[in-house]
């Protein structure tokens, strides 16, 4: 029973992490993703600064999370003070942000998430070589959670579904994802193809 509860907590935290990554990578920031991105970009920030209209004019340029004027405008029209405070509490509870003195900073776990997002973002910013990558997997039902994990990872890389266990994308799988596939011991269930043309309307 205890192990089941621990696994459920682990899955919940992983889902929370993926939700932030997806929000950032799809350039459609939720309040929590916006707070996380802002802490990452500025390094440290007080709660009063979060609520200050001048924050947006002071944001540095060139942020790999794409926190730009578009994000600032969205915050002004959508994110209320109570929403920002709730987002900070969620990030603290999940271990991605901590308070040092009067300022909020990323934890080691938060920094790892930032590196993960940057890595995925960099993959999608590469010049496409006009070749498609097709991932075909037939992972057993008793490894369903790992199968779902792989599918979500591919979606984050902007892969599209051709069939239930066949996804196609424009960019190569990053090395760390391939290592994760090996770590989970599902390599024998996964085929990775490089093709020149796909005769399908969805791509």
Architecture of domain 2-124: Orthogonal Bundle (1.10)
- Residue 105: φ, ψ to 5°: -135, 165
**pLDDT at position 185, please?**
93
Distances (CA, A) of 140 to 150, 153, 187: 13, 18, 12
Question: What's the CA gap between 31 and 29, in Å, rounded?
Answer: 6
pLDDT at 76: 47
pLDDT for position 180: 93
Mean pLDDT is lowest, of 39-43, 129-133, 185-189, for 39-43
Res 14: pLDDT: 79
Q: Which of 12-21, 38-47, 105-114 has the highest mean pLDDT?
A: 105-114
Q: Tell me the per-residue pLDDT of 1-19, one tens digit each, with 9 for 90 and over.
A: 665 556 566 667 778 888 9
Q: What is the CATH number of domain 129-195?
A: 3.30.70.240
The pair of structure tokens assigned to 92 is 């603290």
Domain ranges of the chain: 2-124, 129-195
Average pLDDT, the chain: 84
Asked if domains 2-124 and 129-195 share a fold, the reply is no
Q: Mind giving me the DSSP string for the chain?
A: -HHHHHHHHHHHHHHHHHHHHHHHHTT---HHHHHHHHHHHHS-EEHHHHT-TTHHHHPPS--TT--SHHHHHHHHHH--HHHHHHHHHHHHHTTSEEEETTEEEE-HHHHHHHHHHHHHHHHHHSPP-S-EEEEEE---GGGHHHHHHHHHHHHHTT-EEEETTEEEESSPPPHHHHHHHHHTT-GGGEEEEEES----TT-
163 vs 98: which has the higher pLDDT: 98
Asked if residue 202 has pLDDT above 80, the reply is: no
Percentage, residues of the chain above pLDDT 70: 80
- Reported as a pLDDT band with limits 50, 70 and 90, residue 74 is very low
- Cβ(8)–Cβ(23) below 8 Å: no
- Please say whether the beta carbons of 136 and 188 come within 8 A: no
pLDDT at 104 (0 to 100): 96
Q: Tokens representing 135?
A: 């991932």
């Amino acid at each position: 029973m205890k192990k089941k509860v621990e696994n459920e907590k682990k899955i919940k935290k992983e889902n929370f992490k993926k939700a932030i990554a997806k929000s950032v990578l799809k350039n459609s920031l939720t309040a929590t993703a916006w707070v996380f991105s802002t802490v990452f970009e500025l390094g440290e920030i007080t709660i009063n600064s979060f609520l200050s209209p001048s924050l947006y004019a002071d944001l540095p340029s060139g942020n790999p999370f794409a926190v730009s004027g578009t994000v600032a405008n969205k915050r002004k029209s959508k994110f209320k003070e109570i929403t920002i405070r709730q987002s900070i509490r969620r990030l603290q509870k999940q271990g991605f942000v901590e308070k040092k003195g009067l300022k909020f900073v990323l934890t080691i776990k938060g920094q790892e998430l930032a590196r993960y997002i940057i890595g995925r973002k960099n993959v999608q910013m590469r010049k496409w070589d006009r070749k498609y990558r097709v991932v075909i997997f037939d992972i057993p039902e008793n490894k369903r959670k790992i199968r779902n994990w792989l599918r979500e990872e591919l979606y984050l890389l902007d892969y599209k579904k051709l069939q239930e266990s066949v996804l196609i994308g424009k960019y190569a799988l990053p090395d760390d994802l391939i290592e994760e596939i090996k770590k989970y011991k599902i390599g024998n269930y996964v085929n990775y193809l490089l093709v020149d043309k796909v005769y399908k309307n969805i791509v």
